[in-house]
Structure 1
Amino acid sequence: MVALTDRAQPRLTLETREIARDTTTIRSLDWDRDRFDIEFGLQNGTTYNSFIIRGEKTALVDTSHAKFRDRYLEVLRQHIDPSEIDYLIISHTEPDHSGLVKDILAIAPQITVVGAKVAIQFLENLVHTPFERQIVKSGDELDLGNEHVLEFVSAPNLHWPDTIFTYDRGTQTLFTCDAFGMHYCSDATYDEDLSAIEADYRFYYECLMAPNARSVLSALKRMDKLGEIGTIATGHGPLLRYNIGELTGRYKEWSQAQAKAETTVAVFYFSDYGYSDRLSQAIAHGITKTGVNVEMMDLKSADSHEVRELVGLATGIAIASPPISGPGADIAETAIGTILASAHDKQAIGLLESGGGNDQSIYPLSVKFKELGLKQAFPPIRIEQTPNEATYKQCDEAGTDMGQLLSIKKTIKQMKSLDSDVDKALGRISGGLYIITAKKGDVASAMLASWVTQASFEPLGITIAVAKDRAIEALMQVGDTFVLNILEENKYQNLMKHFLKRFPPGADRFEGVKTQQAQNNSPILSEALAYLECEVVSRMECSDHWIVYSKVDAGRVSNSEAMTAVHHRKVGNHY
């Protein structure tokens, strides 16, 4: 094992290890990365995993992030002369995995790049120099010799349109890039400790895979035909060896539940342009939180038939504006025309400009959809600067608004579905009135709550039921901190009225409210009777809610004589 460490912040280290016969991993450990795309507040950093397979010929599977350039190339040279590498397999072209492709080809121009057709097209724009290539699809094989026969599996949209898996029959190792991975950085190469990683595993799935649930199920079916899998060599986090059945089973269970949703939103984006893919993923994530299914489609690689078919089955459409001129503009114009021709007045529409600087304006596009009778799901979002945490959160909330709009009829039906006696009896369970406040980086949120109870003495702990479609839910992951503000009897009406409002995506929920800053950086409401500073320890899934268990770190009462406000409901099947 080799480790190189940069003592400057952030901490970047590399680990190498033999994971199978003739197979070495180079794991780039990014210990201090605290955010990844739409995922707010990574608690455990991340890793970028690369692999060397040696047969009679040698293949390198993926590279690393550009921030590891010098370290990665040094370690690679310690294990193999780059001139001896025959193939560079590109699982997909997202920069955190292909960021060093150009560097590899510069020192080893003899390499044949292996990837999906779309991946090779993307790389041509990334590398800008000629290179040998081999396009592969599901079922194609590459024989490296010494029993290392590689079989390729197409897995588009997991979570990139050009994704392929690679299965080495000789070692029963499946290289899956993003799929089955997680943003989790530790000294453990493998998944021995399931309890330590399962929260990050689920969070990663929710953010990146849930919006592509049907694609996940398709990939799992293709995997079933490969034979026994002894190791899943992921692109992020620990490799899977000890809990493969359990963890792939969870993907199947979660994806089946998502894919069964009665309502589908088509999310269209234009890869490699502006922040189209990232922002679209954030919108898709927000939609899936409401139980609505999402189908994402890259307009750069989709044909008109695929676009028309997806629009036809969708109840809602979200579009990240493509370029209006330059490379790809003709493809984009045709795709937008197809969407407009296929849309109808029973659908909802959401638009955003993706920040490429040459975007097709969302305002005339919005007018065209309005003329067709489509209902606006959220106000058009215009990106004028580099997206930050608040931008991604705005898109996430816009997606949630869209999902709630499209599922409102189902929600009303569920509210009326319980037997009236059961309904009324359940409503007799009373609770206090609280406002949860949280802040992470530039993102802050709040939620009115009544399903709160003390759960433990040692440590002092509480549980809170948080609906999956609440904006604050993304800030209540394991390791996150928040404040529970306890409202005062006969003095809660103003705060309750304020936080019951429906806030537009990205709106400041604390505007006009007096606050103080807690030690954990979350807002304390000055008018609250008492507050508790809390840290999330674990989460349990309960259909439409998460039960969030948190330890209490600090607290204070402003008026020891006052009583907590109590909430009495008449029915128990809605708030």
Structure 2
Amino acid sequence: MVATPVKQKRLTLQTANLTSDTTAIRCLDWDRDRFDIEFGLQNGTTYNSFLIQGEKTALVDTSHEKFRDQYLSQLKALIDPTKIDYLVISHTEPDHSGLVKDVLAIAPQAVIVGSKVAIQFLEGFVHQPFERQVVKTGEQLDLGNGHQLEFVNAPNLHWPDTMLTYDWGTQILFTCDVFGMHYCSDDLLDSDLDAIAPDYRFYYDCLMGPNARSVLSALKRMEKLGEVSTVANGHGPILQYNVQELIDRYRNWSENKTKGEKTVAMFYVSDYGYSDRTSQAIAYGITKTGINVEMMDLCAADQQEVRELVERSSAIVVGMPPASGEKATDTNATLGTILASVSSKQAIGVFESYGDDDEPIDTIKTRFSDLGLKEVFPAIRITDTPRESTYKLCEEAGTDLGQWLQREKTVKQMKSLDSDLDKAMGRLSGGLYIITAKKGELKSAMLASWVAQASFDPPGISIAVAKDRAIEALMQVGDQFVLNILEEGNYHHLMRHFLKRFKPGADRFEGVNTQTANNNSPILTDALAYLECEVISRMECSDHWIVYSKITQGRVSKPESLTAVHHRKVGNHY
């Protein structure tokens, strides 16, 4: 293994042989703290590329453009670029295909191998002729010396052009985003499962969970392949020690997500403006409520599949496509199919893509409204390059939509007062607290009562946080927050304020007196006491996360006062 310093040891390059003729080229981005749809990263990320040398040579994926000089230099050190016969494109997002044009400049003879959609996307940003080979599921490419590559199309994981590549000779499955994680370390392999597990799950929830049905479809196609000894993913450590365990986690998580009774159809344009990122943020918010999401590219959609998806969905979300150009022809046809297939019983949400030539949002919104569809969240209008707050607004809009679709179930549950079990559970009392958190430019808060001391040394607490709470995304491992303890007899104004239903993106602290804690989270001035906390671990419990956090410091403002106590009549809702 060779590690080459690049820039103050914060951008490094690592090469290692997975087999005698399969080499991993890993670009380690230690300091990246945001990725894709602006989900926060705790541990940086990597961009993994692979070189397979049989009688013929294939390069699987490239890297991010920030590594251009270092990556190309390392590639030339490993092989004469004129000897590269194939460039296999797993999918065309810039973090994996950002250097395709540069590789073609030094290896013009290379044939680009990819799905039909991937080749179409590449034509849009390479802007030069190139040799290509479109492949479908089950088709093979023989590199010689036992390296027989077989391809598996895996659309919507998490782009419509995604493709997996299996080498029958080495039993290595090249998966790009699938089975990856944003986790940067010197460890080439997944030797420490406990260390990577939280990032593996968070990555799935953010990028793969909204496409759970597509995940299951891809896993089914994978069953026709041979044994998988190694998963050569595009981000994080390469999987070798825990291959079956981590693949099974994808299956179990996806099966749980697709058990929901209702589905939202999400239509976007993957390579136009910020449509892919905003749609993914909205989809993530929806899935937090237990509602299924199926994502479909307006450009690459089959019209029959569009019709079937719309007809079985409870709500439709549409990102604005381009108003003119080649893409507009395809998107207009798909929009027409959507409009012809909807019913007045469905809900609708629309958002701008912030491309150069978006369709007018009000025109499309009116067309759905005229057909009787209910607009659940206000149209998302993007007037500037999306920021953290933009994506958080999108996530909250998705959560609002999911909660609206669950409203009948929620009301029915709240009216169920006859169960002895529910009445007995209602006798479990708790204190009254408000959790406040700030990360970057994002702030959030949540009223809580399921809080308990969990350890003495270090001092720690456990908090149950519902999966559909806005603050949940700010309580990942390593995040910091403040637990504000409310005072008996002096909490109703705070409780009323934080129980309000806030619009997506609204400032939850407007009109509330706050101070700033050492960890930068807000402290409520009227609280009885506060504890500054750091998240150490999370455990999934059905519809909640149990968040264990260590307490770093705290203070009591009124030593003589008591903590407010919350009593419930039943235990099946708050």
TM-score normalised by the chain length of structure 2? 0.99
Name the SS of the counterpart of 1:211 in structure 2: helix
Query: Aligned in 2, Cα 1:149/1:272: closer, same or farther, shift over 3 Å?
Result: same
Letter in 2 for 1:134: Q
CA positional deviation for 1:4:
2.2
State how far apart, in whole Å, the 2-side matches of 1:308 and 1:187 are.
48
State how far apart, in whole Å, the 2-side matches of 1:279 and 1:564 are.
41
Deviation per CA, 1:100-130: give whole Å up to 9, x if none.
Answer: 0000001111000000000000000110000
State how far apart, in whole Å, the 2-side matches of 1:36 and 1:421 are.
47
CA positional deviation for 1:418:
7.2
State how far apart, in whole Å, the 2-side matches of 1:418 and 1:145 are.
69
State how far apart, in whole Å, the 2-side matches of 1:274 and 1:299 are.
13
Residue equivalent to 2:100:
101
2:6–2:70: 8 Å Cα contact kept in structure 1?
Answer: no
Residue equivalent to 1:71:
70
Residue equivalent to 1:292:
291
Letter in 2 for 1:407: Q
State how far apart, in whole Å, the 2-side matches of 1:324 and 1:144 are.
44
Residue equivalent to 1:558:
557
1:40–1:475: 8 Å Cα contact kept in structure 2?
Answer: no
Name the SS of the counterpart of 2:336 in structure 1: helix
Task: State how many pairs are aligned.
Answer: 574
Letter in 2 for 1:103: D
Deviation per CA, 1:116-146: give whole Å up to 9, x if none.
Answer: 0000000001100000000001000000000
| 1:281 is the counterpart of 2:296 | no
Deviation per CA, 1:211-265: give whole Å up to 9, x if none.
Answer: 1111101111111111111000000001111111111111100101111210000
Mapping 1:247-258, distance limit 5 Å: 247-258=246-257
State how far apart, in whole Å, the 2-side matches of 1:157 and 1:571 are.
42
Structure 2 unmatched ranges of 5 or more: none
State how far apart, in whole Å, the 1-side matches of 2:513 and 2:14 are.
49
CA positional deviation for 1:417:
5.3
Residue equivalent to 1:245:
244
State how far apart, in whole Å, the 2-side matches of 1:241 and 1:222 are.
21
Deviation per CA, 1:146-197: give whole Å up to 9, x if none.
Answer: 0000000111111110011000010000001111000000011111111000
Residue equivalent to 2:525:
526
| 1:6 is the counterpart of 2:12 | no
CA positional deviation for 1:422:
1.4
Residue equivalent to 1:472:
471
Mapping 1:392-471, distance limit 5 Å: 392-416=391-415, 420-471=419-470
Letter in 1 for 2:6: D
CA positional deviation for 1:20:
1.7
2:60–2:88: 8 Å Cα contact kept in structure 1?
Answer: yes
Letter in 2 for 1:242: Y
2:287–2:402: 8 Å Cα contact kept in structure 1?
Answer: yes
Mapping 1:121-520, distance limit 5 Å: 121-416=120-415, 420-520=419-519
CA positional deviation for 1:520:
0.7
Letter in 2 for 1:45: G
Letter in 2 for 1:257: N
Name the SS of the counterpart of 2:91 in structure 1: coil
Mapping 1:49-68, distance limit 5 Å: 49-68=48-67
State how far apart, in whole Å, the 2-side matches of 1:427 and 1:360 are.
51
Structure 1, 120-129 or 35-44: larger mean CA deviation: 35-44
Residue equivalent to 2:87:
88
Letter in 2 for 1:370: S
CA positional deviation for 1:40:
2.8
State how far apart, in whole Å, the 2-side matches of 1:301 and 1:100 are.
24
Name the SS of the counterpart of 1:563 in structure 2: coil
Residue equivalent to 1:573:
572
Deviation per CA, 1:250-291: give whole Å up to 9, x if none.
Answer: 110010111121000000001211100010000000000000
CA positional deviation for 1:332:
1.5
Structure 1, 353-362 or 259-268: larger mean CA deviation: 353-362
Mapping 1:11-30, distance limit 5 Å: 11-30=10-29
2:417–2:423: 8 Å Cα contact kept in structure 1?
Answer: no
1:38–1:393: 8 Å Cα contact kept in structure 2?
Answer: no
CA positional deviation for 1:413:
3.1
1:39–1:207: 8 Å Cα contact kept in structure 2?
Answer: no
CA positional deviation for 1:199:
0.4
State how far apart, in whole Å, the 1-side matches of 2:246 and 2:189 are.
13
Deviation per CA, 1:512-551: give whole Å up to 9, x if none.
Answer: 1111111111111111111111000000111000000000
State how far apart, in whole Å, the 2-side matches of 1:65 and 1:7 are.
15
State how far apart, in whole Å, the 2-side matches of 1:49 and 1:338 are.
39
Deviation per CA, 1:40-66: give whole Å up to 9, x if none.
Answer: 321000000000000000000000000
State how far apart, in whole Å, the 2-side matches of 1:41 and 1:124 are.
31
Structure 1 unmatched ranges of 5 or more: none
State how far apart, in whole Å, the 2-side matches of 1:36 and 1:418 are.
45
CA positional deviation for 1:303:
2.4
Name the SS of the counterpart of 2:511 in structure 1: coil
State how far apart, in whole Å, the 2-side matches of 1:411 and 1:79 are.
59
2:417–2:570: 8 Å Cα contact kept in structure 1?
Answer: no
CA positional deviation for 1:8:
4.2
State how far apart, in whole Å, the 2-side matches of 1:279 and 1:215 are.
19
TM-score normalised by the chain length of structure 1? 0.99
CA positional deviation for 1:38:
2.7
State how far apart, in whole Å, the 2-side matches of 1:174 and 1:419 are.
53
State how far apart, in whole Å, the 2-side matches of 1:424 and 1:161 are.
48
Name the SS of the counterpart of 2:326 in structure 1: coil
State how far apart, in whole Å, the 2-side matches of 1:255 and 1:320 are.
25
1:21–1:171: 8 Å Cα contact kept in structure 2?
Answer: no
Residue equivalent to 1:34:
33
State how far apart, in whole Å, the 2-side matches of 1:495 and 1:416 are.
26
Runs of 4 or more off by more than 6 Å in structure 1? none
Letter in 1 for 2:65: A
CA positional deviation for 1:37:
2.0
CA positional deviation for 1:39:
4.8
CA positional deviation for 1:387:
0.5
2:269–2:276: 8 Å Cα contact kept in structure 1?
Answer: yes
